[in-house]
Amino acid sequence: MCAYAERRLLFSLEGLHMSANPSSSDGFLLLNRVESCHNVVRAVCKAEKHPLNPVLPLGDIHEWDSTHCAPWSSQSVIYDEEDKLFKAWYAGSDMGGARWWATGYAISEDGVNWHKPNLGMFEYKGSKENNIVIEGRGPVIKDDAEPDPNKRFKGIKRLHSYVGEPAYSEHGARAIFSPDGINWTTGERILLPRWGGRPPDVGVLVRDDQDPDPSRRFKFVYQWMVDLDEPHLKQFAKRNPSQGRAKFLAYGPDIENFREADENPLISPNDGLEEEDHHVMMGPYGGAWIMAYEYGWYVPSDYGLYGMYGGDIRLAVSADGANFERVNPHQPTIPRGAHTEWDGGLLVISDKPVVKDGTIYLYYGGAAEDFTTWPPENFIPGIDYGGSGSGSGRVVRMGLATLREDGFTCLETPDRETPGHATTTPIEVEGLSSLTLNVGDVRQNRSWIEVEVLDPDTNQPLDGFTRRDSDDIFIDGLRRPVAWNGKNLSDLESRRVKLRFWLYGAARLYAYGLS
């Protein structure tokens, strides 16, 4: 990747992330179009938590979602372009000791202020005045390419409801379908050989139109325990000793016929410094794939057998949606809050990002530091945890954090003071006229960006297109136009060039676009 001293990249990732086609852009997720850097690094951008967090109202004490009201196994939020609404399917549970879950439905006009409609579909404590839409939990998508209107919404449901633990083996995981995201019918049972009859948490469901293989059109991610190369504290666990949570991938032509991916595990604590990969967000973005994963660790306190669980959200990327690489794993995308805040203990990410009007919406579940003895294998033998442990016994809420468009990563200088530059691989510019930049943290005469156009063979600036000829880009914007003393790309005599971006001060370059 980009390093402090100028050098060529030591790796190359194939993919569709950047092309010279009209309206193409590069958001620096893969760096496969960056040839070299001098004093420029790729950084993971920290999402901004909304000041009104937590955004989804917690149920009243007598209601079904009085304790748990957040993305957690049921963790899907979308923006429905047809209805012009944000829609959430979230996991809920009450203050009782029984371990059960249901999926609630909520809507919002702005993604911040949410309404729970009274749907009258499922009975809770003798009343149907609630917003429960699914008995059980699992991810949901809206499939605009589906010709059958009754299957426009799709999901995978793992039943873990009022009936309790036996429902796992009796009902398992099943495909579900809906015309509106509210009224659901149950399809075929989903069972992979690895599961042995009992389905694990299913956390992500996505339709992948980037994959040329139609037999891989739908993909889902599930959780499985793996043996830890370095078990650390978990070797003392009563259940699953010396094991940690990892994520596995399955794909199929529809949501009823899945097979294991060849690339498993998708992400595992054995490949990183974390001790758990609990839940993930995964989806195609800009021709690449992003994964926001729950980076989990244990603080060796006096809670349970081996301490209190903590988790935040970090970033991994992939060119093909199967082979992921962590990006700067020391930099959280969403950090947990301070020890006095509602999300100061652990974070759980929703299964897909929402991109709307130049903003990336990242919804997450958050718990404070009173979320103590988790997971169940951390329970001390002989102690009665009331059948639920802290997963259902402590408050978990839904929060919102946002990034600008293409803002998962950026290019910047290490100290954000000393100038540096990044150079692209050769680009075919015939038929192109416009270069735009997605830039931030710029200020006139202090932090700005200049662009020069290079001969691809000599790396020398072309006459009239040096950085001295370039406009200074010192106004924040998603698509700031670049010109060289009034000239643009259509004035170039060369058909093949490189671009060199000069970064001054604290300027951040999130993406560039060609049209």
Bridge-partner residues for 167, per DSSP?
none
Checking if the pLDDT of 10 tops 50, the result is no
Rounded Cα gap, residues 249 and 263, in angstroms? 8
Q: Is residue 102 part of a domain?
A: yes
The pLDDT score that the predictor gives to residue 20 is: 28
Both 11 and 70 in one domain: the answer is no
The pLDDT score that the predictor gives to residue 374 is: 85
- Rg over CA atoms, the chain: 24
Both 127 and 192 in one domain: the answer is yes
Pair 326, 294: CB distance under 8 Å: no
* Nearest Cα to Cα of residue 218 among 165, 272, 141, 270: 141
The string of pLDDT tens digits covering residues 307-352 is 899 999 999 999 999 999 999 999 999 999 999 999 999 999 999 9
The string of pLDDT tens digits covering residues 451-484 is 999 999 999 999 999 999 999 999 999 999 999 9
pLDDT band, very low/low/confident/very high, at 169 (cuts 50, 70, 90): very low
The DSSP bridge pattern shows strands 132-134 and 140-142 to be: unpaired
The pLDDT score that the predictor gives to residue 13 is: 24
**Six token digits for residue 210:** 């980037």
DSSP E strands: which ranges in 2-40? 7-8, 24-26, 34-38
Both 470 and 398 in one domain: the answer is no
Domain ranges, residue 18: 7-45+411-514
pLDDT band, very low/low/confident/very high, at 391 (cuts 50, 70, 90): low
pLDDT band, very low/low/confident/very high, at 26 (cuts 50, 70, 90): low
Q: 218-248: buried (b, 16+ CB within 10 Å) or exposed (e) per residue?
A: bbbbbbbebebeebebbeebeebebbbbbbb
- Helix, strand or coil for residue 235? helix
CA distances, 250 to each of 158, 191, 254, 255, 272 (Å): 16, 11, 11, 10, 22
In this prediction, residues 272-291 reach a mean pLDDT of: 93
Among 404, 438, 463, give the residue marking a domain's end.
Answer: 404
Both 236 and 267 in one domain: the answer is yes
Q: How many CB atoms lie within 10 A of CB 426?
A: 16
Rounded Cα gap, residues 414 and 506, in angstroms? 9
The share of the chain scoring above pLDDT 70, in percent, equals 91
The pLDDT score that the predictor gives to residue 390 is: 62
- Residue 436 belongs to domain with CATH number: 2.60.120
Both 151 and 221 in one domain: the answer is yes
Residue by residue, DSSP assigns 385-420 as -TTTTHHHHS-BEEEEEEEETT-SEEEE-SSSSS-E
The DSSP bridge pattern shows strands 34-38 and 420-424 to be: antiparallel
- Helix, strand or coil for residue 232? helix
Both 223 and 85 in one domain: the answer is yes
DSSP E strands: which ranges in 146-262? 153-158, 173-178, 185-190, 202-207, 218-227, 243-252, 259-260
Q: Is residue 192 part of a domain?
A: yes
pLDDT band, very low/low/confident/very high, at 440 (cuts 50, 70, 90): very high
Checking if the pLDDT of 389 tops 70, the result is no
Checking if the pLDDT of 421 tops 90, the result is yes
Rounded Cα gap, residues 110 and 104, in angstroms? 19
Least confident residue range of 172-186, 299-313, 452-466? 299-313
Q: Is residue 25 part of a domain?
A: yes
Least confident residue range of 218-232, 379-393, 431-445? 379-393
pLDDT band, very low/low/confident/very high, at 372 (cuts 50, 70, 90): confident
Among 353, 378, 404, give the residue marking a domain's end.
Answer: 404
Both 358 and 453 in one domain: the answer is no
- Residue 85 belongs to domain with CATH number: 2.115.10.20
pLDDT band, very low/low/confident/very high, at 376 (cuts 50, 70, 90): confident
Both 81 and 189 in one domain: the answer is yes
Checking if the pLDDT of 388 tops 90, the result is no
- Helix, strand or coil for residue 234? helix
The pLDDT score that the predictor gives to residue 378 is: 86
pLDDT band, very low/low/confident/very high, at 217 (cuts 50, 70, 90): very high
Q: Is residue 1 part of a domain?
A: no
Pair 420, 39: CB distance under 8 Å: yes
Least confident residue range of 158-167, 175-184, 330-339, 410-419? 158-167
The pLDDT score that the predictor gives to residue 25 is: 61
Residue by residue, DSSP assigns 271-290 as GSS-SEEEEEEEEEETTEEE
Rounded Cα gap, residues 39 and 224, in angstroms? 41
The pLDDT score that the predictor gives to residue 392 is: 60
Q: Is residue 137 part of a domain?
A: yes
In this prediction, residues 398-412 reach a mean pLDDT of: 97
The pLDDT score that the predictor gives to residue 144 is: 96
Q: Is residue 244 part of a domain?
A: yes
The pLDDT score that the predictor gives to residue 21 is: 31
| Number of structural domains the chain divides into | 2
**Six token digits for residue 450:** 């200049």
Both 148 and 99 in one domain: the answer is yes
The string of pLDDT tens digits covering residues 101-111 is 899 999 999 99
Both 152 and 268 in one domain: the answer is yes
Q: Is residue 120 part of a domain?
A: yes
Both 387 and 462 in one domain: the answer is no
Q: Is residue 504 part of a domain?
A: yes
The pLDDT score that the predictor gives to residue 161 is: 44
Both 193 and 309 in one domain: the answer is yes
Please provide the average confidence, as pLDDT, over all residues in the chain.
89
- Helix, strand or coil for residue 377? helix
Among 385, 404, 423, give the residue marking a domain's end.
Answer: 404
